[in-house]
Amino acid sequence: MTLDAKAPAGPLETKWDRHKFDMKLVSPANKRKFEIIVLGTGLAGASASATLAELGYHVKSFCLQDTPRRAHSIAAQGGINAAKNYPGDGDSIWRLFYDTIKGGDFRAREANVYRLAQISNEIIDHCTAVGVPFAREYGGLLANRSFGGAQVSRTFYARGQTGQQLLLGCYSAMMRQAALHHIEMLPRREILDIVVVDGCARGVVARNLITGEIEKHAAHAVVMATGGYGNAYYLSTNGMHSNVSATFKAYKRGAFFANPCFVQIHPTCIPVHGTYQSKLTLMSESLRNDGRVWVPKNPGDKRSPNEIPEDERDYYLERKYPSFGNLVPRDVASRNAKEQCDEGKGVGPTGYAVYLDFRDPIERDGRNVIERKYGNLFDMYERITGENPYETPMMIYPAVHYVMGGLWVDYDLMSTIPGLFVLGEANFSDHGANRLGASALMQGLADGYFVIPYTIGGYLAGTPLPDVNAAHPVFEDASQQARGRIQKLLTLKGHRTVDDIHRKLGHILWEYCGMTRSGEGLLKARELIPQLREEFWENALVPGASDDLNQTLERAGRVADFLEFAELMVEDALSRKESCGCHFNVAYQTEEHEALRQDDTSCYVSAWEYAGEGTPPVLHKEPLAFENVHLTQRSYK
C-alpha cells in the first residue's frame, strides 16, 4: 500500500480553497440521513460534534467523563496562536506557518501546516462570538502576548485558563445542539473497538462504564478525537484517564500509526516527589520569561538554595545559549535539565530537579509586578509543594506533556481506514517532531470547527455506503472479542496491582525512550516491555465484576494496550536514524550536543501498519517534500 497524502497541487496559499470547491457536497436535505459517531469531547471532538450537528448531520458523541465539559483540553493554560497580527509586529499567515514547520524540525507536511495557519484567524473570530472571555486591552480590543519564545505576539489567552474557556465554548455549542436532538450524548463510555465493514469504518463497540454493558453503535463515518498517549509513561501532565486504547484499536483494525516516538517533554513541571505520585503538574512556560534556571556548580551540593553564593551557581541555559537564554524551546530546555541532573547537580530530595529562581526579577521589578504576572501560578505551586516561591526558588523538572505522533491521516484528516477521520492530538498531522507553545489548542479547533465539516461531506457524498446497522455480524463479532478480553482481565488474580505494573512500564519508557535515546537503551526497552507484558497477564490483580462500575477493570484494559503500544514507540525510535525535535538519539548530535537531522535519509513520516499478533509491524514512509521552505539547522546560541 502506498500512502497518498492527497494534498492538492498548486500554490500553497490556494490549496485549501480550491480543495473545498473540488469536494462534493451533501445537500442540506440529505445531511440528516447521515449518522456520524464522534469519539472524545476535547477541543477537537467537541468542536466537530457541534459543527457537524449545526450542519444537519445526526451526531453521536462519546466520552469517558460524566459530561463533555471535562476533557483534558480543559487543562491547557497558556493560550492559542493566530496570525491576526493585531499588534502590528510583523506576523502573518506565512510567518505562523513557517514558525510551526521550523519548530517541528521540518517533519510535518507543508500543506496541512499552511492550512492550519490560515484557519487560525477564523478560530479567534468564532471563539469570541460564542463567548470566550479572551483578555482585552483597555480600549476593548483583544490582547496578545508572546509565548514559547516566538518573536511576535500572536497568543490569545483567557487568564491561565485558555483551554477551559475554549472547551466551554465548544461544550455550550454542543448543548445547544443536544437540546435540538441533533446530538445524542453518550458520556461515561469507553471505546473497545472500531467496527470496519467492507473496508469502511462503520461504527464502534463501547462499554457503558456504569452498567458494564457492551454496546454496538453503527454510523456512516467515525470521527476519532481521543487525544494523546502520554500516559504510556505513567507519570505525565495528561489527565488520569487519557489513554491510547481507541487509537490503538483503530491501528489493529488497519489505521496506520504515524511517528509514535515523537513525544514532547515539557521543561517546567513540578518535580516527582514520591512513589505514590499519580500525575505531574505543569507550571506555565511563561514563567521562563522572567525566572532564571540554575543548579549548584558542585555536584552533590545539599545546601539550601539561598545559602549558595552567586559564584557557586551555574545558570546553565544562559551560559550555553546566550542569545535565547532561559527561553530556548521546550526540547532543548528539557534535555539540558536532564543533563545537569545526570551529572549529579540536581536539587531537591530526589536530585531530579533544577531551580527556577525569581530572586533577581523580584529585586529588579518589585514583588508587586511579579505577583501580578505570575501570582496564580505561584499560589498553585505553593498549594502543591508547601513552599513559597517568592522566598525560595521553585524546583522544576521535565515531564511528558504532549504527543506529536498519532494515527496517520491524509489532507482530509482521514486515516488509512476509509470513513475513519482522526482529529486533534490523536492524529499526527501538524506538529512534526516538536510542538510549539499555544499551537495544540489551535490545531484541535482547526480540525474540529473548520476542516472536518468540509472533508467529511466530501467523503459521504463521494462514497457509496450500503445500509449497515448494529445487527451486522461484524458488530457481533467485535463485541464478542471485547467481552472475551474483559473476562480474561477479570481472571487476573495475581499479586501486583495494575498501577504497580503501569508505573514499571513508565520507568522503562522514561529511561530508554524519553528525552535522550540510544540504540542500546532502545534495544533494552524492546527486551523489557514484552517481559513486563507477560508479568501483567500472569500476575496482575483485577478485582470486581464486569457488569458493574469497575474503575480497576477500566485501567487494566488501558494498561494492557499501553503495554503493547509501548513496543511500537520503541520500534519507531529505533527505526529513525537521526535526531529531530523531541527525538534525540545520542548517535546523532552536533559537537555542541544539539539534535542533528539527517535530511537526506530521514525526511519522512513513519507510518506503521499492524501485521497481526506476534508479527513485527510494517514500516511505511511518507516522504516529506518541502517546496516552500528551506530546511535549516535550528540554532538557539
**Is 63:246 a contact under the CB 8 Å cutoff?**
no
Shortest reach from residue 31's CB to other proteins, in Å: 13
Q: Which residues of 18-56 are buried (b: 16+ CB within 10 A; e: fewer)?
A: ebeeebeebeeeebeebbbbbbbbbbbbbbbbbbbbbbb
Shortest reach from residue 304's CB to other proteins, in Å: 12
**Is 35:159 a contact under the CB 8 Å cutoff?**
no
Does 417 participate in binding other proteins (rule CB under 8 A)?
Answer: no
- The alpha carbon torsion through 55, 75, 150, 425 (nearest 10 deg) reads -50
Among 548, 626, 631, 635, indicate the residue that binds other proteins (CB under 8 A): 548
**Is 40:191 a contact under the CB 8 Å cutoff?**
no
Using CB under 8 A as the criterion, what x/- string covers residues 386-415 for binding other proteins? Answer: xx----------------------------
Select 158 or 333, whichever has its Cβ closest to other proteins. Answer: 158
Three-state SS for 207? strand
> CA 125 to CA 582: how far, in whole Å?
32
Does 210 participate in binding other proteins (rule CB under 8 A)?
Answer: yes
**Is 228:565 a contact under the CB 8 Å cutoff?**
no
Select 15 or 555, whichever has its Cβ closest to other proteins. Answer: 555
Among 111, 158, 295, 337, indicate the residue that binds other proteins (CB under 8 A): 158
Among 8, 35, 86, 373, indicate the residue that binds other proteins (CB under 8 A): 86
Does 165 participate in binding other proteins (rule CB under 8 A)?
Answer: yes
Does 243 participate in binding other proteins (rule CB under 8 A)?
Answer: no
Select 28 or 466, whichever has its Cβ closest to other proteins. Answer: 28
Q: Candidates 303-311, 315-323, 405-413, 542-550 — which segment interacts with other proteins by CB under 8 A?
A: 542-550
Among 23, 474, 549, 574, indicate the residue that binds other proteins (CB under 8 A): 549
Which DSSP string corresponds to 214-261?
A: EEEEE-SEEEE-----GGGGSSSSS-TT--SHHHHHHHHTT--EE-TT
Does 503 participate in binding other proteins (rule CB under 8 A)?
Answer: no
Among 23, 25, 75, 490, indicate the residue that binds other proteins (CB under 8 A): 75
Beta bridge partners of 207: 190, 214
Beta bridge partners of 62: 39, 186
Shortest reach from residue 134's CB to other proteins, in Å: 8
**Is 108:100 a contact under the CB 8 Å cutoff?**
yes
Question: Exposed (0-12), middle (13-18) or buried (19+): which is 253, by Cβ within 10 Å?
Answer: middle
Helix (H) or strand (E) holding 292: strand 292-296
Using CB under 8 A as the criterion, what x/- string covers residues 270-299 for binding other proteins? Answer: ---xx-xxxx-xx-----------------
Does 173 participate in binding other proteins (rule CB under 8 A)?
Answer: yes
Among 95, 176, 252, 483, indicate the residue that binds other proteins (CB under 8 A): 176
Select 554 or 572, whichever has its Cβ closest to other proteins. Answer: 554
Which DSSP string corresponds to 462-509?
A: HS------TTSHHHHHHHHHHHHHHHHHHT-B-SEEHHHHHHHHHHHH
Which DSSP string corresponds to 530-591?
A: HHHHHHHHHHEE--S-SSS--HHHHHHHHHHHHHHHHHHHHHHHHH--S-BTTB-BTTSB-T
**Residue 304 corresponds to which cell in the numbers above?**
539550601
Shortest reach from residue 408's CB to other proteins, in Å: 26
> CA 519 to CA 585: how far, in whole Å?
8
Residues 118-137 that bind other proteins (CB under 8 A): 122, 124-131, 133-137
Select 30 or 350, whichever has its Cβ closest to other proteins. Answer: 350
Does 175 participate in binding other proteins (rule CB under 8 A)?
Answer: yes
Does 155 participate in binding other proteins (rule CB under 8 A)?
Answer: no
Residues 420-459 that bind other proteins (CB under 8 A): 449-450, 453
Q: How many residues bind other proteins (CB under 8 A)?
A: 82
Shortest reach from residue 243's CB to other proteins, in Å: 11
Q: Candidates 19-27, 539-547, 608-616, 626-634 — which segment interacts with other proteins by CB under 8 A?
A: 539-547
Q: Sign of the C-alpha dihedral, residues 103, 106, 111, 112? A: negative
Select 210 or 618, whichever has its Cβ closest to other proteins. Answer: 210
Select 175 or 596, whichever has its Cβ closest to other proteins. Answer: 175
Does 32 participate in binding other proteins (rule CB under 8 A)?
Answer: no
**Residue 566 corresponds to which cell in the numbers above?**
509501548
Which DSSP string corresponds to 51-79?
A: HHHHHT-EEEEE-SSSSGGGSGGGG--S-
Does 552 participate in binding other proteins (rule CB under 8 A)?
Answer: yes
Shortest reach from residue 187's CB to other proteins, in Å: 7
> CA 429 to CA 444: how far, in whole Å?
11
Does 507 participate in binding other proteins (rule CB under 8 A)?
Answer: no
Select 391 or 520, whichever has its Cβ closest to other proteins. Answer: 391
Which residue is associated with the grid cell 474503575?
A: 551
**Residue 257 corresponds to which cell in the numbers above?**
500509526
Among 239, 271, 405, 458, indicate the residue that binds other proteins (CB under 8 A): 239
Q: Choosing from 70, 202, 330, 335, which is the catalytic residue?
A: 330
Three-state SS for 166? helix
Q: Name which of 569, 605, 580 is nearest 244 in CA terms.
A: 569
Residues 45-64 that bind other proteins (CB under 8 A): 47, 50-51, 54
Q: Candidates 102-110, 166-174, 194-202, 515-523 — which segment interacts with other proteins by CB under 8 A?
A: 166-174
> CA 299 to CA 330: how far, in whole Å?
24
Shortest reach from residue 282's CB to other proteins, in Å: 8
Q: Candidates 466-474, 541-549, 558-566, 584-592 — which segment interacts with other proteins by CB under 8 A?
A: 541-549
Select 318 or 499, whichever has its Cβ closest to other proteins. Answer: 499
> CA 618 to CA 568: how far, in whole Å?
11
Question: Exposed (0-12), middle (13-18) or buried (19+): which is 78, by Cβ within 10 Å?
Answer: buried
Q: Tell me how crowded residue 10 is: count the other CB atoms within 10 A of its CB.
A: 11
Residues 368-387 that bind other proteins (CB under 8 A): 380, 383-387
Q: Sign of the C-alpha dihedral, residues 320, 590, 573, 407? A: positive
Among 16, 62, 171, 610, indicate the residue that binds other proteins (CB under 8 A): 171
**Is 330 known to be catalytic?**
yes
Does 551 participate in binding other proteins (rule CB under 8 A)?
Answer: yes
Select 132 or 403, whichever has its Cβ closest to other proteins. Answer: 132
Select 250 or 395, whichever has its Cβ closest to other proteins. Answer: 395
Which residue is associated with the grid cell 482521514?
A: 414
Q: Candidates 315-323, 406-414, 549-557, 614-622 — which segment interacts with other proteins by CB under 8 A?
A: 549-557
Among 88, 139, 464, 473, indicate the residue that binds other proteins (CB under 8 A): 139
Does 17 participate in binding other proteins (rule CB under 8 A)?
Answer: no
Residues 294-353 that bind other proteins (CB under 8 A): none
Residues annotated as catalytic (active site), given as ranges: 330
